[in-house]
Chain A
Amino acid sequence: MAVSFTNAWKDSLKDGLVVALRSSFSPSVPVYFSKKTEMRGSQFISVKGDFSNSINSMQNLIDVNFSITLDYFMQDHKRNDTSLRKFFNQVSKIEENVYSLLDIEPLFDVEIESINFTDDEEFQGYRKASFDINVNNAR
């Protein structure tokens, strides 16, 4: 008999994160989960799964750490205070959404370990905030 299992990346992680962000940002900022980053307009959020590792396995629970990279892109040709304020406003909004909404699930523990702010080299004229997110989930 085949083993009964949960699609951990999809059910426990991807759906929760993407749905939480889409509920706050769509349709003005597309949010998608993908292996490769593709340009989706003047602003978009790309989420990638990096790796997972099991901390320990108990009798009834699998305790797993998921490592995720979330990249927020914003086109900024003006490069003035208004556009910069908008960029960092979206960054804070993502940050607080991740903490507030993912904490709804009692079996989630989320940490945004770091965020790096750069001018993206692949997409010229875009600012980029790269979030390094760690999610612990027991199932």
Chain B
Amino acid sequence: MALTTHNIVYDKILIPLRDALRNEFEGSMPVYIDSKHKDIGTKYLRIFVDSQSLQYRRAKSFTNLYNVEMDYVLKTTKNDTSALDKMYRDVSRIETLLFQNPHNGYFFNQMPSIEQNADVGIDNALVAKITVPVLYQEDYERFGKFVTSDNKFFVTSAGSFYIVRS
């Protein structure tokens, strides 16, 4: 019997976040999911989950903290106030969107931390790194071995155990 599983990181964490950001910016800024930067215009937002860590473990569920990294990239050869203002404006807009927490099913563990003017190895670009900690709980199926009345495991002639849902 196959286990029923959910694609937690992609379907539960990244896609709702990406779609919320795409809806907010309505095509004015490409938003994509990947661990690497892509050359897709003068302004874009890259999002990815770098890591996850276990927070709580219960009998049939686990709660993880997902470390979502977002890189806002604005390509510009100008290093003046107007370029910086544009970056600060967009980053504040993203921060406000996250604060409003429009998603169902998961929670921001705390407000995002933002590093302005980050160095990610891209020339002629202003970059802000936004880190968002996200909590998500997943329920999982739990099984047990079939045990006979004398407390021995029931084994088939082929040597297999009977496994039952507990």
Contact = CB atoms under 8 A, between A and B. Distances in A.
Contacts, number: 78
A88 B136 CA distance: 15
A67 B86 CA distance: 48
B36 interface: yes
B6 A103 contact: no
B3 A100 contact: yes
Contacts of A105: 145
Given A96-B138, A96-B140, A113 B3 contact: no
A104 B145 contact: yes
Interface size range on B against A: 20 to 34
B121 interface: no
B54 A114 contact: yes
B83 interface: no
Interface stretch (B7-15, B73-81, B91-99, B101-109): B7-15
A79, A93, A95, A111, most chain B CB atoms within 10 A: A95
B62 A84 contact: no
A24 interface: yes
A115 B53 CA distance: 6
A104 B144 CA distance: 5
Contacts of B5: 89, 92-93, 96-97
Interface string B112-139: 0000000000000000000000000010
Interface of A: 24, 79, 81, 84-85, 88-89, 91-93, 95-97, 99-101, 103-106, 111-119, 127
Interface of B: 2-3, 5-11, 14, 33-36, 48-54, 57, 62, 138, 140-145, 163
